[in-house]
Amino acid sequence: MWMDIFQKVAAADETLDPPDWADAGALSHRILDDAITYLKDVRERPVWREMPAEVRSFFSAPLPREPAPVAEVYDDVARNVMPYPMGNIHPRFWSWYMGASNFTGALGDFLAAIQGSNLGGGNHAAGLMDSQVVNWMKEMMGFPASASGTLVSGGSMANIIGLTVARNAKAGVDVRERGVAAMPKPLRYYASDQVHSCHRKAMEALGLGNRALRRIQTDAGLRIDIGALKAAIAEDR
């Protein structure tokens, strides 16, 4: 079965272009109109609602054997995905801090996906835009012009990069060249016991181990217990 499909695809003159650009344009405008309405009317909907059984069963469908028209795929998304969000774009979503959708940002993501530039290098405008935003951020935060930076997907990635920089600066050896096994003594990071779990995962990913993150107890106001912090530092030394 799969070999027949593979041979059929390999023999065809395949392209990622839409089969009809006019139809693609019409569908794109429909999706944009739906998206505008979706955000504009968010206050008229509940923050969250349970998915009925028929919606849940949709996501247990078997692996498709043939491609489907994009319009049909969008119909499925509009019917089974869009009405059942996590809820974090709603102004009454108070469960915990989580980034909300932003229409301007969505347009930016759309254009970035359309152009598809890779920011790992190359002589192109998107790379210059990336550097410009980093430079603006440096200026806003009072960093020197010689400072470097990068834009990442969110807080968890920002934290692991920051912890990586700290590890490399304090390891006592060239970790990038020799690895963490060459460090003369283990590193310790100190944080409150309220710290996000991404820091623990970062410790593991950086080869330092979960024990490298010392979680210091907090008081009723969620402030670090300074006495406990001093004791932990003394113990590690």
> pTM (2 decimals)?
0.80
Residue 71 backbone phi and psi in degrees, to 5: -60, -40
Which of 51-60, 83-92, 97-106, 138-147 is predicted with the least confidence, judged by mean pLDDT?
Answer: 97-106
- Beta strand residue intervals within the chain, DSSP E: 189-192, 213-216
pLDDT at 10: 66
- 191: helix, strand or coil: strand
pLDDT 10s digits, 125-166: 999 999 999 999 999 999 999 999 999 988 999 999 999 999
* 72 has a pLDDT exceeding 70: yes
pLDDT at 176: 94
What residues does 12 pair with on adjacent strands? none
Evaluate whether 112 touches 126 at the Cβ level (below 8 Å).
Answer: yes
Evaluate whether 208 touches 167 at the Cβ level (below 8 Å).
Answer: yes
Looking at domain 18-111, does it have CATH number 1.10.730.10? no
Give the chain's length.
237
Residue 61 CA to residue 58 CA, distance in Å, equals: 6
Mean pLDDT, residues 58-74 taken together: 95
pLDDT at 101: 78
Using alpha carbons, select from 211, 185, 192 the residue that is nearest to residue 200: 211
Residue 95 backbone phi and psi in degrees, to 5: -65, -50
Evaluate whether 5 touches 65 at the Cβ level (below 8 Å).
Answer: yes
pLDDT at 232: 97
Number of Cβ atoms within 10 Å of the Cβ of 206: 19
Mean pLDDT, residues 209-230 taken together: 96
Using alpha carbons, select from 191, 184, 182 the residue that is nearest to residue 212: 191
pLDDT at 24: 97
Q: What is the mean pLDDT of the chain?
A: 93
Which of 9-13, 36-40, 108-112 is predicted with the least confidence, judged by mean pLDDT?
Answer: 9-13
* 180 has a pLDDT exceeding 90: yes
End-to-end Cα, the chain, rounded Å: 64
* Domain residue ranges of the chain, discontinuous segments joined by +: 18-111, 155-236
pLDDT 10s digits, 76-93: 999 999 999 999 999 999
Tokens of 116: 């598809």
